[in-house]
Amino acid sequence: MFERIAGGRTTRPNDFGGNYITTGRHGRSMSPDPFDDADERLDAREIDGEPFGDIVAALDGLDDDESLCLVNSFEPVPLYDVLAERGYAHETANPTDDEWHVEITRA
């Protein structure tokens, strides 16, 4: 089941309590940066070692109405449960084979 959401994105539910973004804004093909409107960005590929502490610190620094775009080389499925437990929602996009973007907002 696909659903059009704000900004013209088309989504489909994933098995982890969030959505996969299937098209970009205005129904166009997804751009290389599907969440270019995120307030903050963290590229986990640039972090030496385990990125969890950096992710939590970035989330703690957000205001209630701000979002974080997490960029990774794989889908961070284990993170989704942690986000839900901490009161966050997420949407996930896979613009290239080796790049995942997760937009994280307060639920």
59-63: long-range contacts at Cβ-Cβ below 8 A with a sequence spacing of 24 or more? 59/86, 59/88, 59/104, 62/106, 63/39
Task: Taking the CA atoms of 96, 34, 3 and 67 in sequence, report the sign of the dihedral they define.
Answer: positive
Residue 27: give the domain boundaries.
Answer: 3-106
Regarding pTM above 0.75, the answer is no
Q: How far is CA 90 from the centre of its chain?
A: 5
pLDDT, tens digit (0-9, with 9 covering 90-100), for 37-80: 899 999 999 999 999 999 999 999 999 999 999 999 999 999 99
Q: How many domains does the chain have?
A: 1
